[in-house]
Amino acid sequence: MNSISIGTLVFACTFGGALAGIWLRAALPEHHLSSESKDTVKLGIGLIATMTALVLGLVTASAKSSFDDVAKAVKHTAADVLALDRTLARYGPETKEIRQALHGAIQHRLELSWSEQSSRAVRLDEPDTTRGAEGLVDRIRGLSPQNDHQRWLQSRAVNLGEAILDSRWMIASSITASIPVPFLTILIFWLTIIFTSFGLFAPKNATVIVVFFVCTLSVASAIFLILEMDSPFEGLMKVSPDPLRYAFSRLNQ
């Protein structure tokens, strides 16, 4: 299930729970709605609401931090790609084929990670792609420098190439969603209980229903945002490809 489907499910469960609570209020005997019963329910729901708020806050912070780390890795990769291309250009004309291969590799990365085909799976760890990226570094290492200047440029190019490979693996490891299904199930269960209790002691009128609608929609939107940030290359919120596209436009110049 994608983030939109899960967000819709959260909204349906919480808003449905609030409406169910309003229905239960009319169906329950009066002594079940006494002030003592209300106080007991409020204590229990207060505990669940506190746990839910803490969990939501921690998960939101974790998802945002992970999203920002991937965005920074993309920016660093773009800078390293530009530096690598210019280093190879300074080495001499014998690196022309390597620079062309680098150009093709970055083009493939852009098509793979930011494809307009939303159904296309993002796979940065495909064996062919991995061997191609590692092959570039091996070709740089296989150069035969003729003087100290070229030896220094070769060493720098190898270091830049290895840094790009490291960033690539860091980005690839962030593709898979890190929020497990059991965690989401329990969180939705807690939210449903909370809104059911709200409806249980709320008067039945249009204003209350509208407020429940807005509140449950807000909670569902929060879950949606968390899941979107947890998948930085899929969905509506993606890591910006602009740094890498800029680097791609400057290659071989």
121 pLDDT more than 50 = no
Identify the band that residue 30 occupies on the pLDDT scale cut at 50, 70 and 90.
confident
- 188-201: pLDDT as tens digits: 999 999 999 998 88
Task: Kindly state the greatest CA–CA separation across the chain.
Answer: 94
C-alpha triplet 70, 74, 77: angle, nearest 5°: 135
CB 113 within 8 A of CB 233: yes
Per-residue pLDDT, 169: 77
* Global pTM value: 0.79
For residue 185, being part of any structural domain is answered with yes
Q: How far are the Cα atoms of 28, 163, 205 from residue 34, in angstroms, in the given order?
A: 11, 66, 21
For residue 35, being part of any structural domain is answered with no
Instruction: Give the H/E segment covering residue 207.
Output: helix 206-230
For residue 74, being part of any structural domain is answered with yes
- 134-153: pLDDT as tens digits: 788 888 988 889 899 999 99
In angstroms, the first-to-last Cα distance of the chain is 44
For residue 143, being part of any structural domain is answered with yes
For residue 32, being part of any structural domain is answered with no
> Exposure of 233 by Cβ count < 10 A (0-12 exposed, 13-18 middle, 19+ buried)?
buried
For residue 80, being part of any structural domain is answered with yes
Domain that holds residue 67: 3-25+48-114+124-250
Mean residue pLDDT across the chain: 85
For residue 38, being part of any structural domain is answered with no
For residue 33, being part of any structural domain is answered with no
Helix H, strand E, coil C: the string for 149-161 is: HHHHHHHHHHHHH
- Residue whose pair of structure tokens reads 């505990």 in the numeric block: 47
Query: What gap in Å lies between CA 77 and CA 229, rounded to an integer?
Result: 20
User: CB under 8 Å to 167, separation ≥6 — which residues?
Assistant: 73, 76, 77, 80
Per-residue pLDDT, 119: 43
User: Mean pLDDT lowest for which of 22-26, 120-124, 141-145, 164-168?
Assistant: 120-124
Domains contained in the chain, number = 1
Identify the band that residue 238 occupies on the pLDDT scale cut at 50, 70 and 90.
confident
212 pLDDT more than 60 = yes
